[in-house]
Chain A
Amino acid sequence: DTEVTQTPKHLVMGMTNKKSLKCEQHMGHRAMYWYKQKAKKPPELMFVYSYEKLSINESVPSRFSPECPNSSLLNLHLHALQPEDSALYLCASSLTELAGGRGTDTQYFGPGTRLTVL
């Protein structure tokens, strides 16, 4: 099973709402990632979790709050977003955060959550 699942597929929220995005993998990967992808742009890294601890925060505004409750699950909590935060949010996972051996640098991506902020 090389699948990363994300829910919901689509999300529309107002600027005062609180919502959460969910990502799940059962490949035994210990590194998980959140990316933001605007239309016709490449994915931009937001956060990296390694062994359930936050490893990298790419200076993301605090209205985005990641959480890794266990090694299979990654959440992204959203609060007081702006319309410019509308984008496709991609989750990915890899065996480890460090690229050291065969296959360890392959990231598996989920299909994404398309977020619209009104």
Chain B
Amino acid sequence: GNSVTQMEGPVTLSEEAFLTINCTYTATGYPSLFWYVQYPGEGLQLLLKATKADDKGSNKGFEATYRKETTSFHLEKGSVQVSDSAVYFCALRKGNFNKFYFGSGTKLNVKP
């Protein structure tokens, strides 16, 4: 079936550190891949997405590349800020319907 596996958190970093949050997926064919972010007390917001192999999604300094050969979509940011503290969800969408399969989420804490 379709599933997403994310690294367990929490991840604690100092401001300006490099961030990587790992995400791998299981799905047949070519799913679309997403990163959503959930700030405290808020709903999920789309951060970035990629719809085919080797696509790179990017937004607000975050990047992720769709790697078909390793079935991965790791999230990276070169220099995190305190305001990036949130829970990050990797997700896939398969087929024509907007049905998402979410990973378990990774909490990021950024300290000043």
Contacts and interface: CB of A to CB of B under 8 A. Distances in A.
Interface in A11-38: 31, 33
B99 A109 contact: no
Contacts of B44: 43, 90, 92, 107, 109
Contacts of B102: 42-43
A112 B87 CA distance: 15
Interface residues of B, number: 21
Interface residues of A, number: 28
A74 interface: no
Interface stretch (A64-72, A77-85, A95-103): A95-103
12 contacts: A6-B43, A42-B102, A90-B44, A96-B98, A99-B97, A105-B49, A105-B98, A107-B46, A109-B43, A109-B44, A111-B43, A112-B43
Interface of A: 4, 6, 31, 33, 40-43, 45, 48, 56, 90, 92, 94, 96-100, 104-112
Interface of B: 32, 36, 41-46, 49, 89, 91, 93, 96-100, 102-105
